Structure formats: structure tokens, C-alpha cells
Chain A
Amino acid sequence: MAHMLELFPFLGEVRLMRQWAGMSDITPDFAPVMGLTPVENYYIDAGWGTWGFKATPVSGKRMAECVANNTQPSLIEPFKLSRFDDFSLVGEKGAASVGH
């Protein structure tokens, strides 16, 4: 917070009314887990790490397709849970988002 005030000193006088914190879940490759699981009738769409909001329209549609047909739709194929089994981790192609 002290660093924030170095950038915006005037915020020092502004009052904080309420705060809370929670754990943000992150997968090993910072990409979500979507689709089928080893458990029958149990599907997963998780691990977005608070970055999933923008993708909800398309991920909603593909997950609906997944649940309706019990298949892994091709668009979300790279995000399957089993990708970790053979180290097919999904990195961001365009950015070094997975920092050290």
C-alpha cells in the first residue's frame, strides 16, 4: 500500500470501508481445466484463476455441448484435465504470461 501511495499520494486520505481476501486457484500451466473427467457424469470447468470472465460466453457454449454430448469439443480439447498426464501443458502463445 505504501508503494501505491507513492504513485497516488492523495489516496492516503481516502477511507477503506470494507475488505476481504480469498485464495485464487491456479493450475500448473495457468490455463483452465475444461471438459470430461475420469468420473462418469462429472464435468469440470475450473481453474481460470479469476481470468475467466471474458471467456464465459464461448466456454459456456462449449461446456453445454460437452455435457449434452458427453464428448470433449475440439475447441476445448487442449484444456482437458488429462493433459497433465502426458505433459501436454497449454501455454499462452502470444505472451510470457506464465512467469517464474
Chain B
Amino acid sequence: MTSHPNKRLGDGFGAFIDVSKPVSFTFDGKAYSGFQGDVISSALAASDQWVISRSFKYHRPRGTFSLAGHDANSIVQIGDEPNIYADLRNVEAGMKVQPVNCFGSLKRDWLELLDRVGKFLPVGFYYRSFFKPRGAWRFWEPIIRRMAGLGTVNLNTPHGYYDKEYGFYDVVVVGGGQTGMAAAIEAVKQDKSVLIVDEAPHLGGSLNYQRLDGDGVRAKQMRDELTMEISKLDSIKVMTSTSATGLFTDGWVAITTEKRLYKVRGNSVVIAAGAVEQPAVFRHNDRPGIMLGSAAQRLMRLYGVKPGKRGVILTANDDGYGVALDCLDAGIDVTAIIDLRADPGDGVMRKQARHRKLKILEGHAISETFGHHHVRSVKVALINDDGSWTETGEEITCDFVTMSVGYAPNAALVSHGGGFFSYDDDIAMHLPEKLPRWCHAAGSVNGVFSIEACAADGARAGAMAAKDKDSIAERPADPMARFVNHPFPILKNPKGKDFVDFDEDLQSQDILNGMNDGYRHIQLLKRYSALGMGPSQGRHSNVNAIRLVARSEQVNEDSVGTTTFRPPYRSEKIGVLAGRSFEPVRRTAMHHRHLEADAKMMPAGAWMRPAYYQKGKSAQKTIFDEVRNCRENVGLIDVSTLGGLEVRGPDAAEFVNRVYTWAYTKQQVGRARYLLMTDESGVVIDDGVACRFDENHYYLTATTSGVDGVYREMLYWNARWQLEVDITNVTAAYAGVNIAGPNARKVLEKQCDDIDLSAEGFPYMGVRIGHVAGIPARLLRVGFVGELGFEIHVPASMGEALWDALMTVGEEFGIEPFGVEAQRVMRLEKGHIIIGQDTDGLTTPHEADMEWAVAKKKSFYVGKRSVDIQAAKGVQRRLLGFKLTDKNAVAPEECHLVIQNGNMAGRVTSVVRSPSLNEVIGLAYIEDETAEPGTKFNIRIAGGRMVEAVVAPIPFYDPKNKRQEL
């Protein structure tokens, strides 16, 4: 077609490319060459490669259409990167570009046969097919999976580097065209900081490629003036090649480049994003070589590429004449201008076109096109007075066709921000309204087109944004606006292939059939037909579809309504949304000692804790050895992560008494007492221990994962009660260990000489303050694991020293550290519950067998009324200890079900094959409130087998609790 591949237009054309820098790349395995600044589609077009992809359903050849990345035609794959828009990605040396959605080759796609059987694939056919007869889906699914997808994902693609940045501006202007620049300049007059975001590599918007006057000089002139002024203003930050992809509450704008997400807060936002040129609908309107008028202008003005040699210009406004004049300036033959309007008026460019004696057919349209891989001719039709059309018999040979029939606002961000659209019959276009107060729309997105009106609209919006005024739906008068958009550029063809939605291959009859199938509301029609659900998200199809619906229903377009745009406006890589991975981790003061002892660390909330200390044996053997050593000698565990709360003040006891279920006002100083917490609905939510160090001083412990919530609730309750008490979360301020085992006292005595550690001096459930290894310490004699033990809390900075001191003197007594897993085994041997494992979101104290921790005579605690109501009803289930009747049976696992009479009657919450007792023990919910030790029940384990269990008394180990009370 062209004998000079890659010869570009010079002199007023090719503004974005640098012809001194050629770039070589491949497409579909063939070598091509472009220039720096080219996008993939412009470089391909320069080399006469117009077919870029195959359409989604019918596999029709498709090519460059908008050159703005608005259509799915331009989607390609580059290496491991799927879904690149050829219109938006610059060519780079060595780039390997692949077409998508073709089976066989781009040139010979054997799935094109679908285009011939289109009759059998009506809209929504896939809802009614592929599943009969029974089993048919198993045949069809793999076939459809292979056919689906606009690209491939390489499962071995490594994660690239992406990051995020924040920005704060008084005014964010989306769109750096004429209107956006005017808005920014105005805002700066009010001393505001301004950000302009534009997707193109340079400011100017449509001024970079559109023609505004007969001579074709005004646009560039205006662009140069405005960009010069912007460059002189320091308080305007300009970001080009950047997309504003989402608008959220209170001026939060998501702005992305390929590698970075900017989270920007604007006090006000001006949307000057322009308008999207719309296609005309006629038979075979989708052939490669048929493009929007602005696409032809972009090719010429930005990239110096000729759209072809002989063109047919379809138009319904003055812009189409501008395209024709641009073609003449580029030395391209314009065989005909077909104007849909019978009475086109006298735009400045139409005047010039007539002056240049171009062939113009007023009141005519294109009825059909011909050519397979590329358009080669069009048929002309006359539009009759009643709106119908008749072919004239004329067929015009051409190698490209442009369409200039109107625009739709590029208003995705308006939708995101919560704005709406109403269709203005006068200018045949949707206009934004009901924007949030901080969001202003201006320019062609706001239905304003002439140079003067855009300048005024931009200044208006910029001023209002800068002054923080509430936005209003208004626009300056623009008499030209009525002559821009054709109200119905659709020539519905009984032979079909007149595409309304290119992404989904929807023809105009498909839209009507969808409605006939019952989906008359635009939202239902969209979901039924897939209209607007493709990559272009309705940018080229929504408006024409709405016009078809309106005409069919005989209502106006406004009452048809619209569907909703959602972020992102431009598809974003998931990597950009993810950014860098930050995984904050909390470490205890003894963290390094654990690593040195080869601990297998596990997460507990945000904390890292040792699960067990690896010894080269199996995990279970290691854990059981830790249990044995603790029960026979002495063990040491890091309990720093457990919650710690200081409650101090004259009302301390009263406060604790109101927040927890048991009785605390009479708790003696120097004693610890079990804490059980319920919420207002009577559900158990946390537990711990209350240590009274003084009349007015309580030190409370809480679970690792529960303490933050407990602290929050405490602050809430005291905000209501206003008791004289200070509550502080000291979890991170203290490190803690539990030293447990028959030798625990002997070890501790070696490091503690200011506390009487004897059984009489420091009985079980006592608390003391003193020093251990010279470190100020709080000592608690509590017994989670059921052995003689002391919990020692010291200031966090001294945790490691404490650990070292105890490990050193404990060596002669066989001290070994033990981890969370061993602790869990030991607590289960004692029948102690773990909140959140043995209790769930509905467990009340009575169900958990904890009535003993609920005060009988208290008049109030949080949740008391609810606990009482539910206790009075009687429990439906109870948490009880169990063993297996056959000691050698397979052990159940947590959450295995209790089955009674074939029904679910509970579940196992904790279970282990106890190393101390050599049999399986556990806790389970049983739906039998009368269940006593000896009652038998069945548990269903893996494979559906049943195992018989028997209710057993708790504690399993050391039932009389003698060992912990030594």
C-alpha cells in the first residue's frame, strides 16, 4: 500500500516523535521500525500494519480506531505483560509485541468462522446453551477456556517493583487541555497549589491534534500560549503520561503511572477530562482502516503518519471538515465528505472545505463497507425525510474512513465521585450534575465546545475550586454546542454486522433482542448483553445503545438512564495497587535468644512467637519432649506478648468489678484472681488474671490478640461511667516469662532474694513485687500449664537479661525453653480453655462451663443481664472434656463434628494425644446439657468414620491440682 514504509509527514505534523531516533521492535514475529515517541499503533500504522487484533466474539479483524486507548481493538501482549493498549504504550527497542485473541494467526484466524454463524449466536445465547444434555459442560468448558481471554498470563512472572507516593494540593485538575490549563491558571491567581494531571506525554489535550480554524493554526497557537504560561507558574505541578484513575470521597484522587500509585488529596478537584469521540453505526463499521476523525488527526499531527491515501470522511459536525482539511494539508486525497446533516450550516472549516472544492454529500450516510482485512470501499445512502435511508447505488473506493459524528463526556471520574448524568436533548449529550460539593466539571466534559466557552468554563471552575465554593451544574453559553453531536448516527441494517459495541461484538439488533427478551432497563440490558462490560467499559457504545433503547421504547434518552462508571478509569496493574509489601512484625525482647536456640517462629497476631525449639526430631516429638521436661524438671516460656493493662485510681476496684464477670472489690492486695470478660450480649470475649498490687492499683493480663480490643472497650466504658481511674495499655512495656516445673522455685531462688518464694510465703494465686537478677519484677503465681510456676514481668528492655539470668542458673536443674505448642498441650491437659478456640462468637459463660467465674451477688457487670437471661433459659450445648473409649483409636482433629442420631450435635474444639497421659484428650461442645462424665458420644473423623468418645472430668492431668500449688 505504501512504498515508503515509515516515511513520516514533516512540518507541522509528528509533534510527539523524534525522527532522529529510530526504534526497532517486532509485532507478531515480524520486524518493524518506528521512532522514539511513537506508540505501538502509530508505528505499525506507519508501516501499513492496520490489523492489530481479532474481535472477541466473531474474530473479525480489527485495527487502530481511536488512537486514544479507548477501544479494545488496540489490546496487545508484550512478553509477560498482558492487556497493553497499543495506543498508549511507547515503542521501545527490542520490544516483542504479540496480537491476542487469534487462533492460527492474526492474518488467518480460523475462529473467523464464528463470524459466518453469527445467526446462531444471538445476544445472551450462552445463558441457554452448553449445559444440555447433562454433562455437556464438561465437554464445552475446556474449549471455552482455551478461547477466552485477551492475552496470556505466565504463572512464573516475577513480581515487579511498584510503589506509592502521597500528594496534597489545594486544587487537582484532571486534564491538561485548554480548559484544564485555564482552570489551573485561574486557581493560581488565588494563591493555591495546583496539580495538573494528563495522560498524554505533553500538555495541550486536543489542542495537540484538533483543527479549530480554516487555516489550521489556531490550535497550536493556543497550546503554545497556555503551556508557556503554565511553565512560568511555580505553584502548578504538572504530571504528564499519568492517569487520574479514580475519584473518591473528599477529594481523594488515585493517580497512576505504570509503576507508581499516587494517593492525592485535593481540597477541590476540577474535572476537565474532555470528551470521547463516538462512532457511527452502520453495516461493517468495524473494518481496519475505519477510525474516528480524531484518530486520523492524532496519527497525522502527533506521529506524522498518514491514515491512508484516499479517504472518505463521514461527519455530522465541523470537526469532520477539519479532518478533511488536515488530510489535504498532508497530501492525502479526500474522495468525499459525507455529511449526515441535510442542512449542515456554515462552520468555519466547512466553509474552507467548500472553498477547496471537496466533494460533499449533505444528508447522506454510509450504509455499508467492503474489504476483508482492510476497508476498500463504502456504499452511500440518502437519509429520507422520515429518518429511513435508501442506498443511492454509489460505491466509493477508499483506503480509510473517518467518523466525526459527535462526542460523549469523558466523565468516569464524575461517576466515581458520586455525580450523575442527565441527557440534554438540545446538544444530544449527557451532562454531569449533582457533583459532590468539592468537585467541578469544565470544558467538553461539561458540554462546552467552542474555544471561548472552554476558556470561560475553565476559569470559572478554577476560581470556584480555588475559593472552595460548592460546585453547581452550570456552564457558559456556547451556541456552537448544538452543532457538535448527532442525535442518532445509527443506520440500523437488516443484514446486521452494524456494531454498537466493538468489544462485545454487539450489533444494533442484539440490543433490541435483549430488550425483547425482557431486559428493558438499561442496567439489566447491560448485564444481559454484556454491553459496555468489555475493556472500553462502554466509552464507544453506551450512548448509541441508549439512543437505540430510547427510540425503541419511544421515550427520551434521559429517562433511559445510564449505567455506572467505576474505578479505575484506566485499567491498572494489580502490582501498582499493591505497591511494596510491608509486613510489620512485633518481636519480644527475647527474640534473638529464640532464634539462637533454633526456634520455629510462628505468628500470633502481629507478634512472632516460638512454636517450638527445633532439635532435629519431628515437630511432635520435639513438642512432647518440651512438655515432658517442663513437667519433670523446669521449663521457660516467653509470654511477653500477653496483654498487660494498668488500672489505677480510687475507683480501680470498682472499675474492674464492672468490666469483668467475677467479684473483685474484695480481692486482697497481693492476690491474683481469674478474669473473665463478656460483651453486652453475654458472650465470652477475653480472659486473663487480675493482680491487685495495691488498694488502688490493678495489673490485668489479657490474651495476646484480645488486649487491644479490651483496652478500647475499657476506655469506652469509662468514657460513659467517668470513674476516677486511669487505664493504660502496657503490653509492650513489659516482657514476661513463665518458669514452670517442679524445679521452678529452686531456679528462681537463685536469682531472687527479696521475695519469700516458699509455699507459705508466696502461695498459689499470689502476686509479689521485687527483683529477679537485680531487675525490678512483678511475680505472679498462676498456673496455666498446671505445674509449680511463676510468671515474671519485667520492663521490656530487660527481658533478654532476665531470660539469660534464669537460663544460666537453671542449667543445673535441666531448664529448657518451651514454645507455644508445648504450652497449648499442657493447658489442654489441665482443661484450660483458649478464648477464640474453645469459645466462639456465641459462647456464654455457662456454655463454656465457667459459671464458677461469674459472681452470684454482683448487681452489675458488662453483659450481666444478657448472661442471666440466657442462663435462666438453660444452655443448648456445653463445652466438656472427653477421652476416647478406645485408647488406640485414631485421634479426631479440631472442628470434627459430634454426631448424635445422624445429626450434628457439636464439634471438637481442642484435642491432643497427651504425652503425659498417653491417651487422646480434648474439649468438645456437646448438645446435651445433662451430659455427665461417663456419657458416650460419637465423633466423625476424616473419611466419614466414627470414633467413640466419653465425657471425662477436667482437669485430665493432676486432677487435684496439687502440682501447681506446691
Contacts and interface: CB of A to CB of B under 8 A. Distances in A.
- Chain A–chain B contact at Cβ < 8 A: yes
A88 B844 CA distance: 12
Contact of A10 (B155, B535, B572, B909): B155
Interface string B555-579: 0000000000011100111110111
B513 interface: no
B836 interface: yes
Contacts, number: 125
Contact of A93 (B578, B836, B927): B927
Given A19-B567, A28-B681, A4 B578 contact: yes
A3 B478 CA distance: 52
Give the size category of A's interface with B: 20 to 34
A87 B682 contact: yes
A16 B574 CA distance: 6
Contacts of A12: 157, 159-160, 162, 573-575, 578
Q: Please report whether the interface of chain B is mostly helix, strand, loop or mixed according to DSSP.
A: loop
B185 to A, nearest CB: 34
Contacts of B158: 9-10
A1 B574 contact: yes
Contacts of A15: 82-83, 571-574
Contact of A86 (B573, B873, B927): B873
B45 to A, nearest CB: 24
A97 B577 CA distance: 31
B85 to A, nearest CB: 10
A28 B683 CA distance: 11
Interface string B535-549: 101000000000000
B154 interface: yes
Contacts of A30: 841
B162 A91 contact: no
Contacts of B82: 13-15
B840 A99 contact: yes
Contact of B907 (A13, A28, A29, A96): A96
A87 B870 contact: yes
B904 interface: yes
A94 interface: yes
A53 interface: no
A27 to B, nearest CB: 11
Contact of B581 (A2, A29, A94, A96): A2
Contacts of B842: 29, 89, 91, 98
Nearest to A29: B842
B618 interface: no
Contact of A20 (B566, B582, B685): B566
B766 interface: no
Contacts of A13: 80-82, 153, 157, 160, 573-575
A17 B571 contact: yes
A31 B162 CA distance: 41
A95 interface: yes
Contacts of B155: 10
A88 B82 CA distance: 53
Nearest to B927: A93
A87 B571 contact: no
Interface string A63-78: 0000000000000000
Contacts of B579: 2
B869 interface: yes
A100 B836 contact: yes
A9 B161 CA distance: 11
B156 interface: yes
A54 interface: no
Nearest to B533: A18
A5 interface: yes
Interface of A: 1-6, 9-20, 28-30, 86-89, 91, 93-100
Given A5-B578, A94-B895, 12 more contacts: A4-B574, A12-B574, A13-B153, A13-B157, A15-B573, A16-B571, A87-B870, A93-B877, A93-B907, A94-B907, A99-B836, A100-B841
21 contacts: A2-B578, A4-B574, A5-B581, A10-B154, A10-B156, A11-B153, A12-B159, A12-B573, A15-B82, A15-B571, A16-B571, A16-B577, A18-B566, A86-B873, A87-B873, A93-B905, A93-B927, A96-B841, A99-B836, A100-B706, A100-B840
> Which 8 A-B pairs give the minimum distances between C-beta atoms?
A98-B841, A12-B575, A2-B581, A9-B159, A1-B578, A10-B157, A15-B571, A96-B840
